């Protein structure tokens, strides 16, 4: 066995964001760049000799090349076995499933989630811990610290491993076990949901359309929706994963999943539509001519959890990210269970789930999940909805209207301003911070500011503190405006504005969200000075 010790120098830009390290592909293809970060992971986690690692990704450009490098580095760093998805494929929730089922020493997931792919697109890498969830900040900060002082990395000198066939292969004494990327996850879904009820629904004439967006969930949807549940072959569109996602933007929202939206809002529309993103952890839910916000989706799943076998005994609690609407809070209050408000980033839910404090969790950024894994899970959310629809025998719109009649409607929208010059975006946030004290008590139209602050979170499990999580403008009637800079992009800055107003009057529940929120939208632009500071007239994406 020949282990090479390769001298290197640090890069100054390897600080992981909310979902690992994300950069453009040409950045990762620089000499030593990927290797430096991987070695920094290995140096930080200090896995025992002979440990097992999970490895896979979303199939985007550079996925296979990176996996071959990581396998050789894992062998040189003393791992005994690596479980890798066939052809390098593992959706993010499936990777979490594999880590937990086989109790591996965490895993490395290669994905830039919903970001575009291709030779000039985005690439990403993150480490998930032994609970299957993204590494907490104390680990990502340690990885970054090691990346700033690295002077060498280890790599086993060998030919590439064939990853297109299931089996075991030797790499310098380390076993590379190529596994079916779908089976373990599909079996887990079958243990949670009533597949017989869903199968009956789909055989009754109920029509669905699932858009895999040429991303990782295509094979998962084919196996579960078509093979196991009996949906027609054409129920799944864009099912073949492509390195560049077919030139599309694999983000399941009303803008980027426009082909699916046109089908669900067109003539002879299916009864149910859904999409998932690049690595399979996000979801969008649609009914016939009807869109379900992710905030409402979390609330509906929580309110109806007892209808689903895996959650029939009840749920311990709910967690939502701070920018997500308070719709889930109202369900939690009715159920007599806690609802936790956390910063954005799935890793904040992990502690709560491991401590048994929550069962369901979600983010407004099209992510929903539960304690079955430690990642958000797009296809799981789709199956949850289908299970509820099979039991209640109502349309998606009927379920939402009944939910709003019972709990009230948290009218909600997110406006994304993508690709803003970083200086301009930071200027908006600095202006807001400087005026937090002045905003308090001010009246803007019919809204009066109750509190203006920068959200800070103290973890109830380990007492860690996360500050600077987003500017909140909270009004006396319960309405909110939230401003955040996104941590998931790789180019320029994405400024997000979240708008929410509570509406108890059922006569107003039919209103389009943009109409109902028009005054709050005007106030948000006024107090942020966004147009003057960025030159932007309209958002890039509205959800």
pLDDT of residue 348: 87
- What burial class does residue 170 get, using C-beta atoms within 10 Å of its C-beta: 0-12 exposed, 13-18 middle, 19+ buried? exposed
Residue with tokens 């099979």: 390
SS3 337: coil
Consecutive H or E run containing 174: strand 174-179
Quick: pLDDT tens for 245-264: 999 999 999 989 999 999 99
pLDDT of residue 491: 64
Q: Which DSSP string do the residues of 376-394 spell out, in sequence order?
A: --HHHHHHHHHHHHHHH--
Is the pLDDT reported for residue 489 higher than 70?
Answer: no
Is the pLDDT reported for residue 1 higher than 70?
Answer: no
Q: Which DSSP string do the residues of 431-491 spell out, in sequence order?
A: HHHHTHHHHTT-EETTEEEEEEEE--EE-TTT--EE----EEEEETTS-EEEEEE-SS-SS
Contact of 412 with 291, CB cutoff 8 Å: no
pLDDT of residue 18: 74
Q: What is the mean pLDDT of residues 477-501?
A: 85
Q: What is the mean pLDDT of residues 141-153?
A: 98
Residues paired with residue 485 on neighbouring β-strands, in sequence order: 495
Q: How confident is the model at residue 61 (pLDDT cuts 50, 70, 90)?
A: very high
**Domains, the chain:** 3-179 (3.40.120.10), 185-407 (3.40.120.10), 409-542 (3.30.310.50)
pLDDT of residue 144: 98
Calpha distance 380→374 (Å, rounded): 12
Residue 432: which residues within 8 A CB-CB, separation 6 or more?
471, 483, 527, 528
Q: What is the mean pLDDT of residues 187-194?
A: 98
pLDDT of residue 19: 82
Quick: pLDDT tens for 94-129: 999 999 999 999 999 999 989 999 999 999 999 999
pLDDT of residue 223: 98
Contact of 464 with 345, CB cutoff 8 Å: no
Given its phi and psi angles, is residue 408 left (phi above 0), alpha (psi -120 to 50 degrees) or beta? left
Nearest to 293 by CA among 499, 34, 9, 525: 499
The pair of structure tokens assigned to 515 is 């109409």
Calpha distance 240→418 (Å, rounded): 28
Is the pLDDT reported for residue 347 higher than 90?
Answer: no
Given its phi and psi angles, is residue 109 left (phi above 0), alpha (psi -120 to 50 degrees) or beta? beta
Residue with tokens 């967690």: 319
Consecutive H or E run containing 33: helix 33-45
Is the pLDDT reported for residue 295 higher than 90?
Answer: yes
For residue 113, indicate whether it is catalytic.
yes
Q: What percent of the chain has pLDDT over 90?
A: 92
Length of the chain: 543
Contact of 109 with 279, CB cutoff 8 Å: yes
Quick: pLDDT tens for 440-477: 999 999 999 999 999 999 999 989 888 899 999 999 99
Catalytic position from the list 113, 147, 295, 325: 113
- What burial class does residue 16 get, using C-beta atoms within 10 Å of its C-beta: 0-12 exposed, 13-18 middle, 19+ buried? buried
Contact of 263 with 337, CB cutoff 8 Å: no
Is the pLDDT reported for residue 488 higher than 80?
Answer: no
Q: How confident is the model at residue 486 (pLDDT cuts 50, 70, 90)?
A: confident
Given its phi and psi angles, is residue 52 left (phi above 0), alpha (psi -120 to 50 degrees) or beta? beta
- Burial profile 55-93: b = 16 or more Cβ within 10 angstroms, e = fewer: bbbbbbbbbbebbeebbbbbbbbbbbbbbbbbbbbbbbb
pLDDT of residue 490: 55
Q: What percent of the chain has pLDDT over 70?
A: 99
Quick: pLDDT tens for 382-425: 999 999 999 999 999 999 999 999 999 999 999 999 999 999 99
pLDDT of residue 137: 86
Torsion angle in degrees (nearest 10) through CA of 246, 247, 252, 253: -140
Contact of 179 with 84, CB cutoff 8 Å: yes
Contact of 538 with 448, CB cutoff 8 Å: no
pTM of the entire predicted model: 0.93
Contact of 436 with 453, CB cutoff 8 Å: yes
Q: What is the mean pLDDT of residues 318-340?
A: 97
């Amino acid at each position: 066995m020949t282990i090479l010790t390769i001298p290197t120098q640090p890069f100054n830009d390897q600080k992981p964001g909310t979902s690992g390290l994300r950069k453009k592909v040409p950045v990762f293809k620089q000499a030593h760049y990927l290797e430096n970060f991987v070695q920094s992971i290995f140096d930080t986690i200090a896995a025992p000799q002979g440990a097992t690692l999970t490895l896979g990704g979303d199939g985007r450009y550079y996925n296979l090349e990176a996996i071959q490098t990581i396998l050789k580095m894992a062998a040189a760093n003393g791992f005994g076995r690596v479980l890798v998805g066939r052809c390098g494929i593992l959706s993010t929730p499936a990777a979490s499933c594999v880590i937990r089922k086989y109790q591996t020493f965490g895993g490395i997931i290669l994905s830039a989630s919903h970001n575009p792919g291709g030779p000039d697109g985005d690439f990403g890498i993150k480490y998930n811990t032994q609970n299957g969830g993204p590494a907490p900040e104390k680990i990502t900060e340690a990885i970054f610290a090691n990346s700033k002082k690295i002077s060498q990395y280890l790599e086993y000198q060998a030919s590439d491993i064939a990853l297109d066939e299931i089996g075991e292969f030797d790499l310098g004494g380390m076993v590379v076990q190529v596994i079916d990327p779908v089976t373990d996850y599909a079996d887990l879904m079958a243990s949670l949901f009533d597949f017989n009820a869903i199968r009956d629904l789909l055989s009754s004439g109920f029509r669905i359309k699932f858009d895999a967006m040429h991303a990782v969930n295509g094979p998962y949807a084919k196996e579960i929706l078509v093979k196991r549940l009996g949906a027609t072959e054409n129920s799944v569109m864009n099912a073949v994963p492509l390195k560049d996602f077919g030139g599309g933007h694999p983000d399941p929202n009303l803008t980027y999943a426009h082909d699916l939206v046109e089908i669900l809002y067109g003539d002879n529309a299916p009864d149910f539509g859904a999409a998932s993103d690049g690595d399979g952890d996000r979801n969008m839910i649609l009914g016939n001519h009807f869109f379900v916000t992710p905030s409402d989706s979390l609330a509906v799943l929580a309110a109806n959890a007892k209808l689903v076998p895996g959650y029939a005994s009840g749920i311990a609690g709910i967690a939502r990210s701070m920018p997500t609407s308070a719709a889930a809070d109202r369900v939690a209050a009715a159920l007599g269970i806690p609802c936790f408000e956390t910063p954005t980033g799935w890793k904040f839910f992990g502690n709560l789930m491991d401590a048994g404090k929550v069962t369901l969790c979600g983010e407004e950024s099209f992510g929903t999940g539960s304690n079955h894994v430690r990642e958000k899970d797009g296809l799981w959310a789709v199956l949850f909805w289908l299970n509820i629809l099979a039991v209640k025998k109502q349309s998606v719109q009927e379920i939402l209207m009944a939910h709003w009649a019972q709990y009230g409607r948290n009218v909600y929208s997110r406006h994304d301003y993508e690709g803003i010059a970083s200086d301009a975006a930071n200027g908006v946030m600095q202006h807001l911070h400087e005026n937090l004290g002045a905003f308090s008590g001010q009246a803007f139209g019919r809204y009066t500011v109750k509190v203006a602050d920068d959200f800070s979170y103290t973890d109830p499990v380990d007492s860690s503190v996360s500050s600077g999580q987003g500017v909140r403008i909270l009004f006396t009637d319960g309405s909110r405006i939230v401003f955040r800079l996104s941590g998931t992009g790789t180019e320029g800055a994405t400024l997000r504005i979240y708008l929410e107003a509570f509406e108890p009057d059922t006569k107003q529940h039919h209103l389009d969200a943009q109409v109902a929120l028009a005054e709050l939208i005007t106030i948000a632009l006024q107090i942020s000075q966004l147009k003057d500071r960025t030159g932007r007239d309209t958002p890039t994406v509205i959800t």
